[in-house]
A and B are shown apart, each in its own frame.
Chain A
Amino acid sequence: MKKLINDPNQVVNDMLEGMVAAYQNRLRRLPGTKVIVRNDAPVKGKVGIVSGGGSGHEPAHAGYVGKGMLDAAVCGEVFTSPTPDQVLEAIKAVDSGKGVLLIIKNYTGDVMNFEMAAELAEAEGINVAKVIVNDDVAVEGSTFTTGRRGIAGTVFVHKIAGALSERGASLEEVEAVAKKAVQNVRSMGMALTPCTVPAAGKPGFELGENEIEVGIGIHGEPGIEKTTIKTADEIAETLLDKIFDDMKLEKGDRVAVMINGLGATPLMELYIVNKKVSEILKEKQIHVHETFIGEYMTSLEMAGCSISLFKLDDFLIELFDAPADTIALKK
């Protein structure tokens, strides 16, 4: 394992120190926690928006803290959900009296820790609502499993909920629009190489020289199948097909597209993937409102990408286009 770190047990702390040092005009860290909040939190008259999860997915989630998106991000250990006491501190720090919305990715640990935090906050008299993002179409949701995972499409949910809360909407309204966003976003990913968690010191899974894993989650969890390497066009087609199977899109529909790199994929390759994605959408006469290309939710140094489609209506477009000023996303 070769990594630019000091101590495997200090990576999250060291990362947060470096982040806050760079952006101290807009972010601060709650003392004694791994919580990053916007400098002006709690913002008067605004519903607080809190998200987070394990670290190692940078710029998610702290990169989306700022005007128009999140009020706080809670950073767990690498690939490990943050604990309820940390989430509770975030909730308390961003509540202006209008309540707080938690945006949670659908992983067992994340859901349980955030739910406990919500219960603790409610016991302290804070109104808390929750939305669970489950955009990954690779794993089927049924009553027998945890359901679909939350991956890169979560960033779209942050954007929409953040935009509406910035306008002074109520907790109920912000929760409703976040749920609507969740219903309209679908993603699917694939990996070319695994990644190495610093404290583990060895790759989380193995892939042969000519193998790829289709349908991985953002921790490299296995997805649909291990297959031999294909062209970018074929991969784009495979991922989109699976998304189309799950999402009803018709001629004339409008979407936002995200081609998300998982940490070790050059932009060149992401553009190549998007060439095919845009061709397929054009063929289907689906209008692309905007395309995000780059690293939005990574998986350490894993190579590969995910594709997300976000179906928009007039109201969602208005919120999508609203201003945002965060480290990783500006509008």
Chain B
Amino acid sequence: MAFGVKQAKRWMSIANDHIQQQKQYLTELDQAIGDGDHGLNMARGFQEVAGKIASTNYEDLGSLFKDVSMTLIAKVGGASGPLYGTAFLKMSLALAGKKEADDKELVAALEAALGGIKARGKANAGEKTMVDVWEPVMEFLREKGSVHAKEVELLAKEKMEHTKELEAKKGRAAYLGKRSVGHIDPGSASSYLLFAALAKALEE
């Protein structure tokens, strides 16, 4: 399916809706094992993103995602600002100059985003972070070679819930050690919301 500026804008707008609705939930997840500001920070960041891209005309996907990246970097703060900022920066580089991405190009751009998240956060799968959603989703997409919207959403959700069983090894939750088990990782929850939004944007 075609993924152009229109779809990308829709993705960010739906992502913002999801995050605004789940702001309190994300914050509660973060209060349990982190410092309790994830929902507030993400809501502030994506509100700005939605405003910025709705009011701008983009020639190509690269420049759109560069704006997303820079806005998140400047407005979110904490650890999730640089992580999501880097993810979208890598996407913008992968999609530079492209008006539209085919399935293969979109998967490659998401792959680049995951690479950016792992390099910035120095985290691997199994450490109770957003990578625990991103990595299995990318494995699935790599295998399929295209973005199957509904399956992506379900897989992301399942993997987010799976972080409950993990012991945190990265971020502030890592100081809790075993006490972090039993809680969903907030970054994996916001990542799920992003994939759910992507799925919805592609379905429409």
- A interface residues (Cβ-Cβ under 8 A, vs B): 76-77, 79-85, 107-109, 112-113, 115-116, 139, 144-146, 149, 197, 199-200, 204, 217, 219, 221-223
Interface-central residue, B73, B120, B121, B127, by most chain A CB under 10 Å: B73
Taking a contact as CB atoms under 8 Å apart, the answer to whether A83 and B174 are in contact is no
Question: Residue of A at shortest CB range from B86?
Answer: A116
Q: Chain B contacts of A199 at CB under 8 A? A: 37, 40
Q: Chain A contacts of B82 at CB under 8 A? A: 84, 109, 112-113, 115-116
Taking a contact as CB atoms under 8 Å apart, the answer to whether B174 and A112 are in contact is no
A15 to chain B, nearest CB (A): 17
Taking a contact as CB atoms under 8 Å apart, the answer to whether B176 and A222 are in contact is yes
Known: A199-B40, A222-B176. A108 touches B77 (CB 8 A): no
Complex alpha-carbon distance, A112 and B85, angstroms:
11
Contact bitstring B25-67, A, C-beta under 8 A = 1, else 0: 0000000000111001100000000000000000000000000
Taking a contact as CB atoms under 8 Å apart, the answer to whether B77 and A77 are in contact is yes
Taking a contact as CB atoms under 8 Å apart, the answer to whether B175 and A221 are in contact is yes
Q: Flag the segment in B6-14, B96-104, B152-160, B165-173 that touches A.
A: B165-173
Taking a contact as CB atoms under 8 Å apart, the answer to whether B121 and A108 are in contact is yes
Known: A80-B37, A109-B79, A217-B175. A116 touches B73 (CB 8 A): yes
Taking a contact as CB atoms under 8 Å apart, the answer to whether B172 and A107 are in contact is yes
Question: Residue of B at shortest CB range from A76?
Answer: B77
Complex alpha-carbon distance, A195 and B147, angstroms:
46
Known: A81-B78, A83-B74. 16 other contacts (CB 8 A): A79-B37, A80-B35, A80-B77, A81-B77, A83-B73, A83-B77, A84-B82, A108-B170, A108-B171, A109-B77, A112-B121, A115-B120, A199-B37, A199-B40, A200-B36, A219-B172
Q: Chain A contacts of B133 at CB under 8 A? A: none
Taking a contact as CB atoms under 8 Å apart, the answer to whether A80 and B41 are in contact is yes
Q: Chain A contacts of B41 at CB under 8 A? A: 80
Q: Chain A contacts of B200 at CB under 8 A? A: none
Query: Top 10 nearest A-B pairs by Cβ distance?
Result: A112-B82, A109-B79, A109-B78, A85-B74, A145-B174, A108-B79, A108-B171, A144-B169, A80-B77, A221-B175
Q: Is B186 interfacial (CB 8 A cutoff)?
A: no
Q: Is B148 interfacial (CB 8 A cutoff)?
A: no
Complex alpha-carbon distance, A76 and B78, angstroms:
9
